[in-house]
Amino acid sequence: MGQLTLPQDGGCRCGDVRFTISAPPLLAMACHCTGCQRMSSSAYSLSAAIPSDGFEVTKGDPVIGGLHGATRHFFCPTCMTWMFTRPEGMDWLVNLRPTMLDDPSWFTPFIEVWTWEKLPWATTAAVHSYETLPAMEEFAGLTEAYSEQFRDAPPSA
């Protein structure tokens, strides 16, 4: 497994949208919900919850896709890659699809959610599984346990 280096750039399939992250994720997640199965065209979506002030689009103008609801799903306007999500009521974080990063080798999901909807064969490396979502009061403990691995990471530029 690779090690997270910061800052780190990433982008969509075609390169029209590029971004930089300058902070480690608060949490790493796989979501097996049927919505993510459809939007990812795959078995589950991956999210690295990056603090909003550690995430910056540096090239291009991502557009809203998905359900066009209160939770905003951002896509490249050219190649239509689903790049990141700004979840409703959580302005402090951006759920980045970690495979957009130029080096996603450090990423491992820590929790997986909506497993009751998952494809029967779909498994992940997550150490905590939830049939739906963790209770709101569990998130503080989960982010603290997950963040421990980045405590000695070099300070971001």
Site for Zn ion, rule CB under 5 A: 12, 14, 16, 31, 33, 36, 76, 78-79
Residue 105 vs 132, nearer CB to Zn ion: 132
The rounded distance, in Å, linking the Cα atoms of 69 and 71 is 5
Quote the least distance from Cβ 156 to Zn ion, whole Å.
26
The rounded distance, in Å, linking the Cα atoms of 89 and 111 is 20
Residue 12 vs 21, nearer CB to Zn ion: 12
Residue 26 vs 95, nearer CB to Zn ion: 95
Quote the least distance from Cβ 130 to Zn ion, whole Å.
12
Quote the least distance from Cβ 113 to Zn ion, whole Å.
7
The rounded distance, in Å, linking the Cα atoms of 112 and 129 is 5
Task: End-to-end CA distance of the chain: give it in Å, rounded.
Answer: 23
Residue 26 vs 31, nearer CB to Zn ion: 31
Q: Is 107 exposed, middle or buried (0-12, 13-18, 19+ CB in 10 A)?
A: buried
The rounded distance, in Å, linking the Cα atoms of 37 and 35 is 5
Which of 57, 53, 89, 49 minimizes the C-alpha distance to 72? Answer: 89
Residue 12 vs 94, nearer CB to Zn ion: 12
Quote the least distance from Cβ 152 to Zn ion, whole Å.
31
Quote the least distance from Cβ 154 to Zn ion, whole Å.
30
